[in-house]
Amino acid sequence: MGAHTPRAPRTARTGVRDLRETAHAAQVRELTAAGVLEDPVWRAAFAAVPRHLFVPYFWTSRGAGHERLWEEDQDPERRARWLRGVYADTPLATRLRDGRLVSSSSQPSLMAKMLAALDVRAGDNVLEIGAGTGYNAALLCHRLGDGLVTTVDLDEEITESARTHLARLGYHPEVVTGDGARGCPARAPFDRIMVTCTLPLIPHAWLGQCRPGARILAPLSTGLIALTARGPDFAEGRFLHTPAYFVPLRGATAAPPQEPAGLPPGLPYELVENERFQFMLVLTEGTLHPREALDLWRRENRPARERFGVTVTDEGQWAWLDDPQGPYVWPLGEPDRPGVSRGGW
């Protein structure tokens, strides 16, 4: 018999790589089955960009504190928990400061919905506010190319980490350390602005960095507002039906996020737990007392998010129900540049 060369055994590293690839492929199948990757181009982007390269570790609640799970843990069970967490359809806490969440990796299905709602076209110049891990920027780079993607975050530690993660896959967008509320004038004008942090108001600086007709998609209250910028002093749009919860925008020009007022006594339990009612409470905070919000909610047949909208001008910002010129209009707070405050209901 001739000489026989035994097959080399599979290494532990190969086995780990296979597990990660299997988990990644399963995530893409699940998001497709859930109907959030209908666009084949975004489906290809999610298939090309593995989440685990952007989340080498994350924090999870454990008792009264937090536990860190990471890819290089010596305990195989903890490594397995890390991998399951990375490819679960959940947001992941990636940076804590004094026990407070300052950065996260968003829920993949919500990211897919937001990217679809952004409605990007070939050649669009996109600004992302909130670089996070770099995962979302990588998806944008896959679709548009590096030169059309700019992502901004306040902390140099976060931007440097995002830049490193992106480079591992060969992506090199413009990663900027700075106050996201100021945008990025050097890379303007933008066709799309995508925001991955909760806002109390739309920073006026963004409008001046948009081309006419640009789309701004941003978390506001507990929803997603899709605005069309008509010029440097005007944008308007409606909320999507999708709920959204993000880390608040930080920076010198960012107003503190609002908290909902206390609920009125005797509120039915189903409204205490009603997420859409809570959305309206936060959106109308400072103008409507909770009891007034409840009266409006009942009178208007429990309005869905899509019936609410926002108008941004150089004089201020207003939320409205159904019609910006209708009877239900209220200010969103102090504008970020001097102007006249318009009365609301």
Question: Could you tell me the pLDDT band of residue 150, with boundaries at 50, 70 and 90?
Answer: very high
C-alpha distances (whole Å) from 96 to each of 69, 89, 218, 222, 254 are 13, 21, 23, 22, 20
Is residue 20 within 8 Å of residue 80, measured between CB atoms?
Answer: no
**Considering only 159-163, 188-192, 288-292, 321-325, which range has the smallest mean pLDDT?**
288-292
* Residue 40 preceded by cis peptide, ω within 30: no
The answer to whether the predicted template modeling score (pTM) of the entire model surpasses 0.95 is no
Count of CB atoms situated within 10 Å of the CB of 35:
10
Q: Annotated catalytic residue: which of 103, 104, 105, 221?
A: 103
Res. 264: pLDDT tops 80: no
User: How high is the mean pLDDT of the chain?
Assistant: 87
pLDDT at residue number 272: 64
Cα 144 to chain centroid distance, Å, stands at 19
Which homologous superfamily is 17-243 in?
Vaccinia Virus protein VP39 (3.40.50.150)
Give catalytic status of residue 103 as yes or no: yes
